[in-house]
Structures are given as C-alpha cells and as structure tokens.
Chain A
C-alpha cells in the first residue's frame, strides 16, 4: 500500500541527496576543472567560458545521465516485477542492442541526421521487438531458465542484425557509427539530444509506475494476481511499451548502456523488503546515481581516449550478474525456490 515506511523514505531522501551531489561533481569535472563554487556560479550566471562549458556542455550531459540512469533502473525494476525475477534486465536479452541496431540502421541507410526524431523512434521499435519477444516467450511461465535462454536467443539475434548492418555498410563511416551506438556514451551530448529523448523517457516513467501495484500482486503468481483483479494482458503490454519507450529513447541518444537495470534495483531491494512496487522509485534513483557516477568516472580516469560509459557499466554489471546467478543457483538447478 502506498504509505511509505520510514526506512524507504530515508533511502529515497539519501539517494536524492547523492544524485544532487553527483550532479555538482559532474558539472565540475572535465578537461577544464572547476571548483564547486565556480561550477555553481557558472551554472547560475552562464557568463564567460565557464558559463558556456557548464551550461552548454556539462549540463545536458549531466541531465541526460540522470534521466537515462533513472529510466534504465526503472525499466529493470518493472521487468523484474512483471517476470517476478531479479535477473530480468533489458541488456540481458539485447534490448539496447536491438534498439542500437535499429537506430544505426536509420542513420546508415535512411540518411537522417543523428538528432532527428526518426532515430529515437527507430530505437523504440527495436527495443519493442526485443522486449515484446521476451515477454511473449517467457511471460506467463516466468521460469528463470526460460527467461535466460530466450534472452540469449534474442540478444544473439540483435547481434546478428548488427553484424548484418556492418556487413552491408556502404562505407567505413557507417561501420564506425554502428560501433559507436554499441559502446554507449554521453560524451558531447547537447540540449538537442536532451530534448529529443526527455519526452519519451518521462512517458516511460508514467507508463511503468502505473503498474506498481500489479507487480506487488504478481508476487503471488499470475493466477492469484488475476483473481485479485489484475489485468495481466494490460500489465504485460504496458511494461513492454514502457520499457521500449525508455530503453529505445535512451539508446537513441546515448547508445547501448547495459546492466544499470540489473544492478540499481538489486542494491535497494533489501531496504524495501523486496516489495516489487516500492523498489521502483529508489531503483530509479539508484540508476540515476550509478550512471551519473560512471559518467563522471570516465572523465576522471586518465586515458588517451575517453572511456565509453557503456563499457564501464558492462564491466561492472557482468560480474554482478554472475554473482546474482550464483545466488539464484538453487532455482536454476530446478530445486524448489
């Protein structure tokens, strides 16, 4: 029920404070380092070179990291709620890859510019096929084995389509473009990117949050949830559409960034007593904090070329995923949960 217990309220406040702090750090960090005071002054006044750096370069990037991180965290929490499984994560069944393949296809062969509305629309279509496919295959049974195997097949398919685009790419520029989508980065994103993605990201939040109570009822399994009045078809459809909107739009501006949806809800789940409804808000906030931290880290880590944030999240996420599989081993081996 919607009354928030003190522990989860403290968690939400703490995560919000953390995000604000990380946002400030994100405005400070870059080739031209600024002190907290300089960054804040530049943000407020917008004057001088610092004003341009903070407002036009770092602010869009920071806001995108928050919005996309929150969307990915929320998408993970929603899919986990629907499939009743903590291992459900868009990247595991290739949703970002499918979105990236569709988006790069548009740029490679459709001759549209990277900030055209066609790119997020293509990304959403790609994600829709991938998420829809997974829910259609694994939806009603929700066995972990089926989810993971279906995810493997869908991810491989997304990989094959990407390979096909690389194969057929009319020039090397396009191959580079595809590789760029697959890595995932927030570098050099402008307010144009922000404007293109934000409406879809916010729409996905509304669609996903509307199902919070259904996820809680689904704790009892599909039959019991349906007997309590949950419309399963509508819930499934809304989650597929919500995740496709969010992941598709995120990939269209930032490329493929995986595993935030797996890690973020998992970090906060215990604090909300594993309630699949109550995990959504802190899961989204944790996602925002994670991506913001990762995107700030890639600017601090010394490297000849800036690290791509999608590479960082995957490097952290995959071992995390293996650790979680270890925890779920009993169920995977067929023992009663």
Chain B
C-alpha cells in the first residue's frame, strides 16, 4: 500500500477542558482499507475520531487528500468525510427516507430540489443497508438494529471517500453486528477509507485490514490484525489475558480473564 493516504494525521494532540486526551497520534487511512480502532474505555478513541472529522480543534497536522483539513470549507469537508457518531441519536420522529436524505446535505445548492444524483445515492444507501422496507416509518419507532442501519445509510448516502464510524456495532445483536461490519468492509472494498471504533476484538480481527490500538491517548500499535492483536499487546492495552484461536483463516483473540 504505497498510495497517498486519503486522511492522515501527524503528531495529533487534543485537549478537552485542558486535559490531554489524544497525545501525538499519527496514522494514515488508505483508500480500500478497513481500519479498526481499538482501545479500552476512556483511551481517547472518540476524541481522536472527532478530531479526524474536523469537529474539535486539535494541534498537529491532519491532511485530507493531500491538503490541510482546515483549508476545506465545512461543506467541502463534509462531502469528503462522512462521520457516524456513537449512539444513533434521532431527535425527531422523521421518516427513515428523510433521515437518509440528510446525508446529501453537503451536496448541491441548498435551496434547489434534490437532483437525480441525490435520489440515486439515497436509494442506493437504503438498498445496501436493507432498510427499504420501512422507508416511510418514523425513525424513532425502529428497533436498535434498524436504527443502526438507518444511521449507517445516512452516512453512506453522502458518498464520501472517507468514513469515520464511532462504535457502529454498539448495543447490536450478533446478527446486526455482522451486517454492519460486512457493510463497512464492502465500503472499503469499493475504494473508501474506513475507520471504525470497534470494541469486540474478535470482530476487529476478522473484518479489519488493519488495527490501530490506542492507550491513554497514544497510538501503541498500527499493524495487520494478527500483529496488532497478539496476546502480549492485548495484555498491555486492555489488561486482559487472551487466547488466540485460529478460525476461518483469521487469528481471533478471546479474552479469558482480567489481569
């Protein structure tokens, strides 16, 4: 992988209320790669991903398509980076289709009707996430798994080349976890750079092309899953004794006991 990264950070540090949360983090996201960001609670994963999305001020360098992130207008940035926050929050009971259409917000003239490209992108995002059956239902009436897919469809409808997802599988049943991970991996296969915070190490090991571990705000590993998630590193990052099992050509860590 020698292609220029789509999104890269160098020496990225973030302070929230003066406390350092992310410290000197450097990473590069390539098109075609699905990267999992793992680390214990409070390690700074959400803060790192928000900084990469340009939502909070950070020191250090963030480059998007070879140019400084801050040189992009918010709309231009929004067309290139889709960000899926934690929790799949929807504040109004709007129909699913209108929620997904919000992904087109950064595109086109704000006061013009939706274009054919907008309609196609929304329809396609609903198709691949399998939410077409309830496109008219109020989003707040859906189950957690359905809501997660609507939130993902909204992010996909933007058709951004970079997708940053914060715990997209949070509080989903096993089946929906797999669906979401499949969708993220497919998105990477189509050429996007995908970064997702994942808590389930087995899912990260099976799906990701690369795993970045973060500990107390610092990147402690950035490698292929089998290298980043070996027993030794899992012990130091998570304080957990893990057994690695071979499964489906992957090396899957299973947490055994807290250290």
| Co-assembled chains A and B | yes
Binding site for B on A (CB under 8 A): 1-3, 84-85, 142, 213, 216-221, 223-224, 226-231, 273-276, 337
Q: What are 25 A-B contacts with C-beta separation under 8 Å?
A: A1-B104, A1-B113, A1-B114, A2-B113, A213-B105, A216-B102, A219-B90, A219-B92, A219-B99, A220-B91, A221-B87, A223-B50, A224-B83, A227-B53, A227-B54, A227-B78, A227-B81, A227-B85, A228-B103, A229-B73, A229-B106, A230-B74, A273-B95, A274-B93, A275-B98
- Could you say which of B92, B95, B110 has the most chain A C-beta atoms within 10 Å of its C-beta? B92
Minimal beta-carbon separation of A112 from chain B (angstroms): 41
Residues of B within 8 A of A230 (CB): 74, 105
B105 touches A217 (CB 8 A): yes
Q: B138 touches which one: A142, A217, A228, A274 (CB < 8 A)?
A: A274
Residues of A within 8 A of B78 (CB): 227-229
Q: Which residues of B119-165 are within 8 A (CB) of A? A: 138, 140, 151, 154, 158
B105 touches A274 (CB 8 A): no
In the complex, whether B94 has a CB less than 8 A from a CB of chain A is yes
Closest Cβ neighbor of B86 among chain A residues = A223
Closest Cβ neighbor of A83 among chain B residues = B91
B106 touches A228 (CB 8 A): yes
Q: B74 touches which one: A2, A84, A229 (CB < 8 A)?
A: A229
Residues of A within 8 A of B114 (CB): 1, 3
Residues of B within 8 A of A1 (CB): 101, 104, 113-114, 118
Closest Cβ neighbor of A274 among chain B residues = B92
In the A-B complex, the 6 residue pairs with the smallest Cβ-Cβ separation, listed nearest first, are A227-B83, A84-B91, A229-B78, A229-B75, A229-B74, A274-B92
B105 touches A228 (CB 8 A): yes
Closest Cβ neighbor of A84 among chain B residues = B91
Minimal beta-carbon separation of A189 from chain B (angstroms): 35
C-alpha spacing A221/B155, complex, angstroms: 13
C-alpha spacing A228/B55, complex, angstroms: 10
B85 touches A223 (CB 8 A): yes
Closest Cβ neighbor of B158 among chain A residues = A228
In the complex, whether B77 has a CB less than 8 A from a CB of chain A is yes
Closest Cβ neighbor of A86 among chain B residues = B92
C-alpha spacing A230/B112, complex, angstroms: 17
Count residues on chain B whose CB falls below 8 Å from chain A CBs. Answer: 41
In the complex, whether B247 has a CB less than 8 A from a CB of chain A is no
Binding site for A on B (CB under 8 A): 50, 53-55, 73-75, 77-78, 81-85, 87, 89-95, 98-99, 101-106, 110-114, 118, 138, 140, 151, 154, 158
A223 touches B105 (CB 8 A): no
Residues of A within 8 A of B103 (CB): 228
Closest Cβ neighbor of B103 among chain A residues = A228
Q: A229 touches which one: B77, B87, B118 (CB < 8 A)?
A: B77
Residues of B within 8 A of A276 (CB): 92
C-alpha spacing A276/B151, complex, angstroms: 18
C-alpha spacing A287/B158, complex, angstroms: 36
C-alpha spacing A309/B154, complex, angstroms: 45
Minimal beta-carbon separation of A247 from chain B (angstroms): 23
- Could you say which of A218, A223, A228, A231 has the most chain B C-beta atoms within 10 Å of its C-beta? A228
Minimal beta-carbon separation of A275 from chain B (angstroms): 6
Residues of B within 8 A of A84 (CB): 91-92
Residues of B within 8 A of A142 (CB): 91
Minimal beta-carbon separation of B81 from chain A (angstroms): 7
C-alpha spacing A3/B104, complex, angstroms: 14
Closest Cβ neighbor of B105 among chain A residues = A228
Closest Cβ neighbor of B95 among chain A residues = A273
Minimal beta-carbon separation of A80 from chain B (angstroms): 9
Minimal beta-carbon separation of B102 from chain A (angstroms): 6
Closest Cβ neighbor of A279 among chain B residues = B92
C-alpha spacing A223/B151, complex, angstroms: 13
C-alpha spacing A219/B118, complex, angstroms: 19
Residues of A within 8 A of B110 (CB): 213
- Could you say which of B81, B82, B102 has the most chain A C-beta atoms within 10 Å of its C-beta? B102
Closest Cβ neighbor of B122 among chain A residues = A1
C-alpha spacing A305/B106, complex, angstroms: 56
C-alpha spacing A213/B111, complex, angstroms: 9
* Known contacts A221-B89, A228-B78, A229-B75; A273/B111 CB under 8 A: no
Residues of B within 8 A of A220 (CB): 85, 89-91, 99, 102, 151, 154
Residues of B within 8 A of A229 (CB): 73-75, 77-78, 105-106
A218 touches B91 (CB 8 A): yes
B101 touches A224 (CB 8 A): no
C-alpha spacing A90/B91, complex, angstroms: 20
Residues of A within 8 A of B140 (CB): 337
A223 touches B83 (CB 8 A): yes
* Known contacts A3-B113, A274-B138; A224/B85 CB under 8 A: yes
C-alpha spacing A85/B87, complex, angstroms: 18
Minimal beta-carbon separation of A224 from chain B (angstroms): 5
Residues of B within 8 A of A273 (CB): 93-95, 98, 138
Closest Cβ neighbor of A4 among chain B residues = B113
B98 touches A221 (CB 8 A): no
- Could you say which of A220, A221, A276 has the most chain B C-beta atoms within 10 Å of its C-beta? A220
C-alpha spacing A337/B156, complex, angstroms: 25
Residues of A within 8 A of B102 (CB): 216-217, 219-220, 228
C-alpha spacing A3/B81, complex, angstroms: 27
Residues of A within 8 A of B111 (CB): 2
